[in-house]
Chain A
Amino acid sequence: MSFKIVVLAKQVPDTRNVGKDAMKADGTVNRAALPAIYNPEDLNALEQALRLKSKIEGATVHVLTMGPARAAEIIRESMYRGADGGFLLSGREFAGSDTLATSYALACAIRKMGKVDIIVCGRQAIDGDTAQVGPQVAEKLGMPQITYAEEIIDCSENKITVKRRLERGVEVVKGTLPLLITVNGSAPACRPRHAKLTLKYKHAATPTEKQDSGSDYTDLYNSHPYLNINEWGVNDIEHDIQWLGLTGSPTKVKQIENVVFTAKESKRLTASDAEIEDLMKELIANHTIG
């Protein structure tokens, strides 16, 4: 029995280290100027996928990501941690996609994979924090969704039971496969790289990466087919061009502003008894407290 698990993951700019050149003049993100990392909640999703794989005989885990050539890094990273392989969806036709155009492209790619039993992705990515792509992909594929998952409690005989962590509570829900799950950051962290797998997949590469490396490892890739990371362009998926990229994006960025707060005239105090007492007296006198 085959059981196909697909993880949707994204390589994101590390928004904790944003510099001045992070945005381009047209309001889109200048990804080249920022360190790129594996979106944190997608790692939580990968962990849930790997746990499923270990419980279900014949299960495979493949990572699907859309992005520039270097996004293949997160596919390799996934393989070091236990994924079987991955697909990079790449091309300038996808550039400028909002969440809806992204989900359309991902849905087209998933359709090409044939029968998929479960799709797992992070709840949201740290560059946009929208939490939209998961549900939008599910809708495009006509699949049910379970968002905010913290733990897959059981998965057997086509049924899946999932614990959800909501803002104000916990829910346990049961659904029928195939479906899409988005995983919360509160779910268990992803296992670290496995040393043997890291060695095994060190040379895993997309066709573009092989070309760019300049060295000829043709024999290596022929004798070790698992080192080939799939790379799909727009012509590899069945699509309608009008739903891709900028034209497929109903939302437009009108304006981008850097956040600047107007500074106030502050009164500066020390921690001395006299100054703190004066402050408290003043606050009481003007009815701020008391």
Chain B
Amino acid sequence: MNNIIVYLEIEDGIVGDVSLELLTKGRSLADQLKCKLEAVAAGYQLDSIGNQIFPYGVDTLYLADDKRLAPYTTLPHTSLLVNLFKEEKPQIALMGATSIGRDLGPRVSSALFSGLTADCTSLEVGTYEDKKAAKVYENLLYQIRPAFGGNIVATIVNPDCRPQMATVREGVMKKEIRDVKYAGKTRKLDVSKYVSDTDFVIEVIERHMEKSKVNLKASPIIVSGGYGMGSAENFKMLYDLAAVLGGEVGASRAAVDSGMVEHERQIGQTGTTVRPKLYIACGISGQIQHIAGMQESAMIIAINNDPHAPINQIADYVITGSVEEVIPKMIQYYKKNSK
């Protein structure tokens, strides 16, 4: 009772990174709140899920294994969570801010009348004082998220309603194994007790899922381009530099929106959050939403025509010059000096 529950996203029997990241965060919150970390898996043929998640410090895995629960559809998964939450009364429920979590979370929160905060970038535990009611709440979940296009950061709390629900995007939290031998228990759920036959009203006729081709999160070096690259043609230079350095190509939202590069390369609040060893920002002015997604890079090099571009403020090296001139030189002198 009053534990932390993470909803697991499962594709082809594999638990998604976003869920493992949430388990990692959930584990540290559970330690702080002195409660258990639990997880729910809903789908089909889930025998290997326990082995995948227990090392992250999961105490209980609720397993709803039923052919009809895969692929995901809204109502059966909603009923499962709503009824399980009514029984278990978790204090916190976390899910990925993905096309599944953002479909499921609001539905569950609406049914339970519990507050939900979308796209949190940080989760902490703290106190909250309701001055009007002269009441102090201890150990609430601080749900911290950007709002207003990234111009402000809001800390949201749910003082009275449980569970306190939050979604988090993939890549925002770190993924870390707690203990490879961590001993968690599995509890199989009788699906028919949680889900009604009338929940199966949406039929999935066709489904094409692709594994992401780009792995920005795992890349130690990212060469990223912005609107200042000017064209998709110019972006090719960035692929050349990334190939030479052994990195991946990223982009700002402006570059993605103008069609120079595909969406899965977008870095920032509405894209991926990255923490590479080296981040080379090319023709990126440095909108807040972009900086929020890369400011934790160990080293940042900004290449820009504009000596006053906002991104220069957080860069370790600022190269003032045209990208077309600088990038080929970087390739040339890297090749010349590396063995």
Contact = CB atoms under 8 A, between A and B. Distances in A.
B152 A257 contact: yes
Contacts of B336: 277
Nearest to A282: B317
B7 interface: no
Nearest to B334: A280
A1 interface: no
A147 interface: yes
B110 interface: yes
Contact of B333 (A128, A258, A276): A276
Contact of A269 (B102, B103, B160, B317): B317
A272 to B, nearest CB: 8
B74 A144 contact: yes
Contact of A259 (B146, B245, B318): B146
Interface stretch (A45-53, A96-104, A219-227): A96-104
Interface size of B as a range: 35 or more
A167 B209 CA distance: 9
A166 interface: yes
Contacts of A250: 113-115, 158, 160-161
A158 B267 CA distance: 42
Contacts of B288: 259, 261
A266 B221 CA distance: 19
Nearest to B335: A280
Nearest to A289: B245
Contact of B212 (A168, A261, A263): A168
A135 B107 contact: yes
Contact of B102 (A27, A147, A172): A147
A281 interface: yes
A139 B107 contact: yes
Contacts of A266: 302, 312-313, 315-318
A284 B334 contact: yes
A157 interface: no
A29 B298 CA distance: 35
Contacts of A279: 301, 317, 319, 330, 333
B14 interface: no
A23 interface: yes
Contacts of B83: none
Interface size class of A (residues with CB under 8 A): 35 or more
Given A132-B106, A144-B201, A271 B157 contact: no
Nearest to B202: A175
B155 A145 contact: no
A280 B312 contact: no
A136 interface: yes
A13 B216 CA distance: 32
A277 B159 CA distance: 57
Contacts of A32: none
Interface of B is mostly: mixed
Interface stretch (A14-22, A73-81, A195-203): A14-22
Nearest to B300: A264
A215 interface: no
A256 B320 contact: no
Interface stretch (B85-93, B116-124, B185-193): B116-124
A145 B115 contact: no
Dominant secondary structure at the A interface: mixed
Given A15-B149, A132-B105, A258-B152, A271 B321 contact: yes
A8 B117 CA distance: 21
A92 interface: no
Contacts of A271: 319-322, 325-326, 329
B106 A175 contact: no
Contacts of A98: 115
Given A172-B205, A251-B157, A264-B315, A138 B337 contact: no
A276 B329 contact: yes
Given A168-B211, A171-B207, A22 B151 contact: yes
A131 B106 contact: yes
Interface in A116-136: 126-136
Nearest to B105: A132
Contacts of B119: 129-130
Interface string A60-104: 000000000000000000000000000000000000001110010
24 contacts: A18-B149, A27-B154, A100-B109, A127-B148, A128-B118, A132-B106, A135-B74, A144-B75, A145-B103, A146-B202, A168-B211, A174-B202, A251-B156, A253-B154, A254-B128, A254-B155, A255-B154, A257-B155, A259-B152, A263-B314, A267-B317, A284-B338, A288-B278, A290-B334
Interface of A: 13, 15-16, 18, 22-23, 27, 29, 98-100, 103, 126-140, 144-148, 161, 164, 166-176, 249-259, 261-264, 266-271, 273, 275-277, 279-281, 283-284, 288-290
Given A100-B109, A279-B333, 17 more contacts: A15-B148, A16-B149, A103-B110, A131-B102, A132-B105, A168-B209, A169-B210, A174-B205, A251-B116, A254-B142, A266-B317, A267-B316, A269-B319, A271-B329, A283-B278, A284-B334, A288-B298
Interface of B: 71, 73-75, 78, 98-99, 102-103, 105-107, 109-111, 113-119, 128, 130, 142-143, 146-161, 201-212, 221, 245-246, 270, 277-278, 288, 291-292, 295, 298-302, 312-322, 325-326, 329-330, 333-334, 336-339
